[in-house]
Structure 1
C-alpha cells in the first residue's frame, strides 16, 4: 500500500526512463561517429557538443512526463491504493482509477511510441551502419575489437527497449501482473546495473 502523494513522487522516476531512451540514442550516434566517421569524430567529441547532447537527453523527458503525471493523478481513484507492482508505474496506477482512462491509455501509447520508437530507430540505423562498416574491415582482429566495443551497448539497448516496448505497447487485455513486474525490473534495475 502506498499513499497517492508518495506514488506521485515516485512517478518522477519515469522521467529517467524517458531520458535513458534518448541517452542510449546519443550513445549509439557516438559509436556510429567513432567507427564509421573517425575523422569527424573529434568534432562531436568536443566537450560543448557532448554536454549539449547529454543535456538535451536529460531535459527531453521532463515536460512530457510531468504532463502525463498531472493527467494521471487528476483522475478519480477508487478506495483501493494497493498496487500489484513494485513501483508506481503508469499501468498499475491506471488500474486503480475509477473514471474513464481511455485518454490516459492513448497518451501512454503516444509517449511510448515517441520516446521508444524514434530513439530505437536511430539506434537501429546506427547499428546497421556500424555492422556494415565492421564487416568491411580487413583484419579479423579489427572486426572482433570493434564489435566487442558495440556489443555491450546492443545488449543494454535490446533489454531496455524490448522490455519497455512489451510493457507499454501491448494490448491492455494481455497485461499480466507477474510479467509486468519482471519486465519493469529489467528496464529499471537490471539495465542501470549493467
Structure 2
C-alpha cells in the first residue's frame, strides 16, 4: 500500500484529529507544528507566537481508499475558512487556518477546492485560508496525540465551548465534517 501525507492547520489541533481518525483509508493523524522557522518547537513556544508555527495535523492516508479531494472536503467542513485571526475562541497566529501542500497536485486540488467553496456561496465572506508549501512537520508532545480519546469529557467541553461545534452545525448541518 502506497500512502501519502497531507497537512492542515485549523485552530486547535485537538479538533482536527477526531474527524479524520478511524475513517477507512486514514492510517494515522498526528498533532504537531509547522510553518515556522524554529526547529523542534514546544507547545508553550507555539502558543506564545514565538516560533511562527501553526498548530497542525499531519494525516497519513491511502489515496486509493480516501482520496485527497475527500480530505479537503472534510477539512473545509471542520473550520471557519473566513477567519484570519484564529479559530473560534482560539486567537493568534498559531491558530490560523492553512492547507500545506506536499506536491503540485495537492496544490492544484487545494486551490480548486478553495475556489469551489468560495463560488458556492456557503459563506458571505471571503475564504481566507492560505495554501502554502509544506515545511517540516514537528510532532507535538505525547499528551496532545489523540487528545479526544485520552480526555473525552474535556475534549467535548472544549469543542462545544469554543463555538466550533455550533458553527459546524449551523453551516453544514452536522459536526466533525460528516
For normalisation by structure 1, the TM-score amounts to: 0.26
Structure holding more helix per residue: 1
For normalisation by structure 2, the TM-score amounts to: 0.28
Structure holding more strand per residue: 2
